[in-house]
């Protein structure tokens, strides 16, 4: 076991940085020349209350789910909220690989992980939850064998995460579930456990919108059966740059989800550089556009003011 490191304290960001404007609708009426991208927060949007469970979903791979999960989590802990990230992705390169750099124990020393919560009723949520070096950030890791949930469909799998998270409801303010690029049992269980869905969509790819249509069908089924209060709270336009296509994609999402926030997460070379440095963007480049977008997005989602 390596030495315990000091906790990383993240601070709220300065007010004078280049945050996007907040508008009530996604602007499709001005001429393209005059269009200024903004965070669209419809008048009907209801900010999330605490405690809250948020599932970050899109079956399209590489849409920006993990980036969104991590950056929103860090924006929230910087404002003093206690956050738990749940890794519901069985890929090798999941958020657990990221977060293991920020743990006091190495992954091979982890006794329990998310898979155990689906297959072993005796394992408690707290036993599969681990602190990180970030103050107020815990996570439930997973490894490729989590895929057995989709393969074997253990009894009660669809409601498992919901039941488990209720066991530790008082331990955190916000739970963020990072889903994998699949619409199987694991993603369904995340949707059953969630209050809100956030859908990242690569603003540069029309293909991600196809993933959104498929996800919508699953969300509808979950709402009709196990979780009637589930709502789509936001769509995040990742890798966002100003173009006619991104404007149109934002417009389609705003039409499809009239009560949801449409949040551009501007493209930035620092996103890749932060990955190389094995740091979250918030820590690596706290003053860069994408960091600011997630920071303001997190504030809007929870109705938090500019100050902490
Ligand atoms: N705002 C952004 N600007 C530039 N690049 C971005 C942005 N957001 C995400 N990316 C890049 O897009 C790639 C995919 O991001 P990410 O891993 O978050 O997607 P994902 O949906 O979690 O993928 P998977 O489906 O495999 O889990 C990463 O290389 C990431 O650095
Ligand atoms: Mg991912």
- The runs of H, that is alpha helices, within the chain are 65-77, 95-99, 114-119, 148-152, 157-167, 185-193, 207-224, 244-256, 269-276, 281-284, 289-302
The pLDDT of residue 208: 74
Percent of the chain at pLDDT > 90 equals: 78
Give 120's DSSP letter: -
Q: Please, which pLDDT band fits residue 9 given cuts at 50, 70 and 90?
A: confident
Alpha-carbon gap, residue 261 to 259, rounded angstroms: 7
Quote the ligand 2 centre to 262 CA distance (angstroms).
20
The pLDDT of residue 278: 86
- Cα torsion 268, 259, 169, 297 to 10°: value is 20
The pLDDT of residue 104: 62
Alpha-carbon gap, residue 258 to 45, rounded angstroms: 8
Atom of ligand 1 nearest to the CA of 265: 1
Alpha-carbon gap, residue 240 to 43, rounded angstroms: 24
Alpha-carbon gap, residue 191 to 193, rounded angstroms: 5
Query: Residue 207 falls within a domain, yes or no?
Result: yes
Which residue, by CA, sits nearest to atom 2 of ligand 1? 239
pTM for this prediction: 0.95
Q: Which domain holds residue 175?
A: 48-302
pLDDT tens figures, 89-144: 998 878 888 787 777 656 566 889 999 999 999 999 999 999 998 999 999 999 99
Give the residues surrounding ligand 1 with Cβ less than 6 Å away.
Answer: 61-67, 89, 91, 180-181, 238-239, 265, 267-268, 271-272, 275, 290
pLDDT tens figures, 186-236: 999 999 999 999 999 998 877 777 778 889 999 999 999 999 999 999 999
Q: At residue 77, what are phi and psi to the nearest 5 degrees?
A: -70, -30
Spell out the long-range contacts of 293-296 with Cβ–Cβ below 8 A and sequence spacing 24 or more.
293/19, 293/20, 293/39, 293/240, 293/263, 293/264, 293/265, 293/266, 294/68, 294/71, 294/72, 294/74, 294/75, 294/265, 295/12, 295/13, 295/19, 295/75, 295/78, 296/19, 296/20, 296/22, 296/39
Q: Indicate if the alpha-carbon torsion angle 222, 112, 131, 88 is positive or negative.
A: negative
Query: Residue 37 falls within a domain, yes or no?
Result: no
Quote the ligand 1 centre to 66 CA distance (angstroms).
7
Percent of the chain at pLDDT > 70 equals: 95
The pLDDT of residue 105: 56
Which residue, by CA, sits nearest to atom 25 of ligand 1? 61
The pLDDT of residue 11: 84
Q: What CATH number does the domain containing 137 carry?
A: 3.40.50.300
- Residue 57 and residue 181 in contact, taking contact as beta carbons nearer than 8 Å: no
The pLDDT of residue 185: 95
Quote the ligand 2 centre to 57 CA distance (angstroms).
9
Query: Residue 26 falls within a domain, yes or no?
Result: no
Specify the number of domains making up the chain. 1
Instruction: Please say if the pLDDT value at position 180 is more than 60.
Output: yes
Alpha-carbon gap, residue 292 to 283, rounded angstroms: 12
Query: Residue 43 falls within a domain, yes or no?
Result: no
Q: Which of 60, 61, 66, 201 to mutate to test the pocket of ligand 1 (most atoms within 8 A of CB)?
A: 66
Quote the ligand 1 centre to 136 CA distance (angstroms).
24
Of 2-6, 172-176, 266-270, 298-302, where does mean pLDDT reach its minimum?
2-6
Mean pLDDT of the chain: 91
Task: Pick the more confident residue, 17 or 123.
Answer: 123
């Amino acid at each position: 076991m390596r030495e315990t490191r000091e906790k990383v304290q993240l601070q709220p960001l300065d007010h004078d940085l280049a945050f996007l404007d907040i508008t009530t609708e996604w602007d499709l009426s001005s001429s393209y020349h005059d269009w200024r991208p903004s965070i669209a927060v419809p008048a009907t949007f209801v900010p999330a209350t605490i405690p809250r469970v948020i599932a970050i979903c899109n079956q399209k791979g590489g849409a920006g789910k993990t980036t969104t999960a991590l950056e929103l989590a860090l924006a929230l802990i910087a404002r003093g909220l206690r956050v738990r990230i749940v890794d519901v992705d069985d890929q090798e390169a999941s958020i657990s690989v990221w977060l293991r750099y920020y743990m006091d124990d190495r992954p091979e020393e982890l006794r329990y992980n998310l898979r155990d919560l689906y297959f072993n009723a005796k394992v408690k949520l707290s036993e599969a939850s681990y602190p990180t070096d970030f103050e107020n950030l815990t996570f439930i890791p997973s490894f490729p064998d989590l895929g057995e949930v989709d393969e074997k469909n253990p009894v009660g799998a669809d409601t498992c995460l919901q039941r488990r998270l209720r066991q530790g409801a008082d331990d955190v303010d916000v739970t963020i579930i990072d889903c994998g690029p699949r619409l199987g049992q694991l993603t369904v269980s995340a949707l059953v456990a969630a209050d809100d869905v956030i859908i990242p969509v690569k603003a540069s790819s029309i293909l991600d919108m196809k993933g959104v249509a498929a996800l919508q069908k699953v969300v509808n089924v979950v709402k009709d059966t196990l979780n009637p209060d589930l709502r789509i709270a936001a769509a995040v336009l990742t890798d966002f740059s100003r173009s006619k296509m991104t404007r149109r994609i934002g417009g389609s999402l705003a039409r499809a989800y009239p009560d949801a926030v449409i949040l551009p997460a501007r493209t930035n070379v620092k996103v890749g550089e932060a990955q190389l440095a094995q740091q979250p963007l918030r820590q690596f480049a706290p003053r860069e556009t994408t960091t600011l977008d997630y920071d303001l997005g997190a504030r809007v989602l929870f109705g938090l003011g500019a100050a902490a």
